[in-house]
Structure 1
Amino acid sequence: MRELVFALEYEPGCNRVADTLANHPDASVRSLSLHATDDRLWRVDHATGTPDALAAIEDAFLNSDYYADCLATEDCNATQTTQVLDHTTETLVLYSYWERTPLCASIPHIARDHLGDGLLFDTRHESRHYTWRIIHSGEGNVSEFFDELETTVGDCAQMEMLRTAVASPSTNDTSNSNTGLAPEQQAAVQAAVEHGYYESPREIDVGELAEHLTIPRSTLTYRLRRAEEHLAKQYITREQLPDDPSPPL
């Protein structure tokens, strides 16, 4: 089995969920389950954030003009249903069901066309950054998949390849198993270290590093900020853990 990890960065006005998350940068949506057939897609998503953020995310899912995962640039007359499975002050769980029309397109359906059946999908949506992880047999045509995806997305989003490799054992989380960072955050920090961004004085500024990585400066700044926040909290948590108690005599 092999995996593909890539991200879309949506332009303003192209995806209502992305616009909503951009207005609530501490909120995120990750998939708990995602399945697709030739003409259907259904998924369960888990959102976290403040009460205001969750209310806005719920509204975006329930009241968008058309299904958020559809890559069409206008209403494609598809049949969709979204239901709230759970809503607390800190979490929101949503179930979505979508029956496509000939005008519709989505990442899972494009993947099925080029990578075959038996695919596993894992997603994480933060701000305008929508990260996908696809586990596949390795027998399909990855280049054709990305060519069609890039054509279908058009000017609505920038696409960035993050990793293509033999699948790691865990398929439940897009985060790196050692650091807890999402792949795009891990890549940003690694590039920053390798190019001297964290040296004193710095050997490269964030604009130059973003240009080297061929991603927008704002995207890189966002990824580094989230990664640094996560690593700092992880460090403090480890420091506060009590020492192992001595065994009784």
Structure 2
Amino acid sequence: MREFTFAIEYEVGSDPIMDVFIDHPSVVAHSLDGFVTEDRFWRIERISGPRSALDRIEEIRFDDTCCGESVTERDCDATRFHDVLERSSNELVLYTYLTDIRGCESVHTLAGKHLPRGLIFETRRRESTHWWRILMRSDEKVGVFYDALGARLAAGLTFRMGHLRDASGWRQDSLATVAMPEEQEVALRAALEAGYYETPRETTLDEIAAELSIPRSTLSYRLRQAEAQLARRYAGGDEGNRWLE
């Protein structure tokens, strides 16, 4: 298997779904997509973030007048089916199936046109960036796909190349997200960006707390809660049992 990776950057107002990610920096999404041809594909996407952002994404997805797939100026004409597989206050899992796609220029349809059958996509979205990883049996026509994608991008979208190489293995956690309250995520991101987890540490809890305008004790509590969730996700041993429940 070969893998091709790239990213597409979105300016504000260029895509309704991506606008939600831009407006809510704590929102993150991972998807697994397959059965890709020129006229059909499916996707399972796990999104974590505040309730208001999840509500907006769900609203857009279920609005058949809103495309949300095309990367050109031309919206996709297709038969759409969406279903909510899981929903909580801070996590949303959506199933999407598009068929009878006509006149559409999306990453999926362009890949289905130029690349071999049996494609698998892994994607990640955060803020203004949508990252893509395509697994394929052969990269014989990947140059044609690259040229077609780059030449057709709508105004406000920018292509950023990743790599083309032998697939580096299956990312079994590609749909795994850690859903945590927004205040915990804000604290964790602030600590990461300030270098709190570097060795040696580049900042202190007091400095981060002052930056966030919260008490040191509150910051410490939020970080402990966030770290506990990350540890459970990484080392928890009974995730597989959910298949048997």
So what's the TM-score if we normalise by structure 2?
A: 0.67
Rounded Cα–Cα distance in structure 2 between residues aligned with 1:27 and 1:233? 22
Task: Please name the residue that 2:14 is paired with.
Answer: 14
* Structure 1 unmatched runs, 5+: 176-224, 242-249
Task: Please name the residue that 1:42 is paired with.
Answer: 42
Task: Please name the residue that 1:83 is paired with.
Answer: 83
Change in 2 beyond 3 A, CA 1:139/1:4: closer
Q: How much does 1:52 deviate?
A: 1.7
Rounded Cα–Cα distance in structure 1 between residues aligned with 2:125 and 2:112? 21
Contact 1:67–1:80 under 8 Å retained in 2? no
Task: Please name the residue that 1:166 is paired with.
Answer: 166
RMSD of equivalent CA atoms: 3.1
Task: Please name the residue that 1:65 is paired with.
Answer: 65
Rounded Cα–Cα distance in structure 1 between residues aligned with 2:23 and 2:31? 20
Rounded Cα–Cα distance in structure 2 between residues aligned with 1:170 and 1:226? 31
Q: How much does 1:87 deviate?
A: 0.9
Contact 2:33–2:120 under 8 Å retained in 1? no
1:133 counterpart letter in structure 2: R
Q: How much does 1:77 deviate?
A: 3.2
Change in 2 beyond 3 A, CA 1:234/1:38: farther
Task: Please name the residue that 2:236 is paired with.
Answer: none
Change in 2 beyond 3 A, CA 1:13/1:226: farther
Change in 2 beyond 3 A, CA 1:24/1:170: same
Rounded Cα–Cα distance in structure 1 between residues aligned with 2:105 and 2:61? 18
Task: Please name the residue that 1:55 is paired with.
Answer: 55
Q: How much does 1:226 deviate?
A: 8.7
2:147 counterpart letter in structure 1: D
Rounded Cα–Cα distance in structure 1 between residues aligned with 2:40 and 2:30? 20
Q: How much does 1:127 deviate?
A: 1.5
Q: What aligned pairs does 1:230-241 form with structure 2 within 5 A after superposition?
A: 237=227
Query: What secondary structure sits across from 1:63 in the alignment?
Result: coil
2:86 counterpart letter in structure 1: D
Q: How much does 1:82 deviate?
A: 1.8
1:131 counterpart letter in structure 2: W
Q: How much does 1:23 deviate?
A: 0.6
Q: How much does 1:229 deviate?
A: 4.3
Query: What secondary structure sits across from 2:70 in the alignment?
Result: coil
Change in 2 beyond 3 A, CA 1:33/1:115: closer
Change in 2 beyond 3 A, CA 1:76/1:121: closer
1:26 counterpart letter in structure 2: S
Higher RCO (C-alpha under 8 Å, 6+ residues apart): 2
Rounded Cα–Cα distance in structure 2 between residues aligned with 1:60 and 1:232? 37
Rounded Cα–Cα distance in structure 2 between residues aligned with 1:232 and 1:30? 26
Moved more, 72-81 or 127-136: 72-81
Q: State percent identity of aligned pairs.
A: 31
Listed one character per residue, the Cα deviations across residues 97-117 of structure 1 (whole Å, up to 9, x for unaligned) are: 212443212212212322211
Task: Please name the residue that 1:141 is paired with.
Answer: 141
1:50 counterpart letter in structure 2: P
Q: What aligned pairs does 1:203-242 form with structure 2 within 5 A after superposition?
A: 228-229=192-193, 237=227
